[in-house]
Structure 1
């Protein structure tokens, strides 16, 4: 089976494109029971698409909608793709009414937010809207809407199908910042735009560097700091900064360490990033108090509190 079907970019706005054109670009069974199953492509940091389709075949006699959901919740065959869905997620029930496919999922879906929720929604929508009888998908969790989702009913027309990175990509991300008082971190959920000449890591880091929009949060990149480069190798995001980063950290070791972890936690929200290592002009960063920076740091979500 061929892995690469149609690359997709999640766009900044709801796009007005023809429903038939969008569906035909990503459906078209090459053989009976053959469909594109969409998975996350963000693990490939050099890639230019958010999700990609992998052609799979339903088992003979298998009911279509439960069968597609079963394939969606499996791991993809390609090592370059990953599942955007949390482990243990189940389809509890479904109903198709006047073109709207209502999916009721188990509570594992509540764990998704930011980029992960954006990708999961896109994979569900693109996969299931291949069916002629499905115009849109409405996802609930144990019978309830997700209260923090801006759009509840999703259609293939909300997603641009493109063959290359000629359009910006909109991503919902979780950005970590210092709470006023300097004793813990808070999370700001924001929709950001990845330009065509940026990697996902560069886009997220750039948005984080701009500082928070919510009251009660403080920026964590010392004034004057320049981000020289950011790239991912073997699951570690290597971030090279100018000397102003170390020079501008506060005297309080606790607050300084929290500012470092604000960057680490933010970047480790991304698929394919498991740890962050900081450099200063190409050299391993010096320690901040008792926190060594000459090695990769894994995220610490216990440092955050709800606002």
Structure 2
């Protein structure tokens, strides 16, 4: 039996066991998709998530293993449930490895991919290739030019941890989503929106994803972070249209040069924009009786404030 067929059989058996457990009482659930060895990443048929398939990487050297992974990722899998992350018109024309940094040069077809396709391809390639001993990070080039984001900033070398992810191996666990995040402008007195595409685990709430991305900070020049990078997310939950964002004490240190209102409403506006809540309650170590920087009271849920967003020329 082929690997793909074995994996599908495992999933079907798991679902069958769940159905039997529902009728016969609670049973201990197990994960049918645990992968003990190496694997390749493919794209699901909906084009919004990755699938891990067990795969034994072949080769007697790092270089041979890289060639094997790139060849296998380009081929269409036998399964009809997922497909190659590489579109037909996208090829890796050459590659080089130096000090653990793997550079992939791709054909011009790379530039014609949609945003979701491009992010999924990067995520699949980085995760698959970084399993190889001697490969620590991966960068993409189009011809001699390094890959850049929509603002022209070089993306550079990436590791698996650069993508929002879960270390588990559940099938269809990853999704890609465009988020509108609000950061401070250069003066720190107004908000500016930034749209980012992130890959994340489907078990992670969008609201928590947004808060984590805000802590990570902006990627564009001329924008400033609004939350200290050492801030820990203690919990994010939603109830009755209110999203409760619980942060640790580091949040109260603030970011030098950023107005308190800008920092608070960066969180509020971003969470409401991308999530399902209409209000945001910010807590610090579980407490709401807090005045942030002695300027903004956090005792009650806050609604979106667009007056603090910097106007741009249309």
Q: TM-score, normalised by structure 1?
A: 0.46
Whichever of the two has the greater Rg, that structure is 2
Q: Which has the higher contact order (CA 8 A, sep 6+)?
A: 1
Q: Which has the higher helix share?
A: 2
Q: TM-score, normalised by structure 2?
A: 0.45
